[in-house]
Amino acid sequence: GQNIDQPTEMTATEGAIVQINCTYQTSGFNGLFWYQQHAGEAPTFLSYNVLDGLEEKGRFSSFLSRSKGYSYLLLKELQMKDSASYLCAVSPDDYIPTFGRGTSLIVHP
């Protein structure tokens, strides 16, 4: 089976940096995705990692270590609008993605 773990909830202060971790155990690996989902809306794509290392995209960066089954999403210069759920998803051998339960991030002033 597939298993993805990420924290349920995190809080952070506006302007700060927050790191959301994700660990996974899957049957094969064809990439890891991070999505942002605001309440009542569909997920939106943030990043995709298939090779080890850090991918930077503006205020958001995503890191992957395949040997450790580990990824993190780094959010810098937090804004209130970043309050959302962040979903880690892995594409295993059969390309049918498995989603984590999501991390609810609360940004306060």
Q: Which residues bind other proteins (CB under 8 A)?
A: 30-31, 33, 35, 40-45, 48, 50, 87, 89, 91, 95-102, 104
Report d(CA 42, CA 19) in Å as an integer. Answer: 22
Q: Looking at beta carbons only, is 35 or 72 nearer to other proteins?
A: 35
Q: Least distance to other proteins from the beta carbon of 77, Å?
A: 26
Q: Looking at beta carbons only, is 11 or 44 nearer to other proteins?
A: 44
Per DSSP, 17 falls in state: -
Longest distance between any two alpha carbons in the chain, whole Å: 43
Q: Least distance to other proteins from the beta carbon of 26, Å?
A: 13
* C-alpha closest to that of 46 among 24, 31, 61: 61
Q: Least distance to other proteins from the beta carbon of 107, Å?
A: 18
What lies within 8 Å, CB to CB, of 58 at 6+ separation is: none
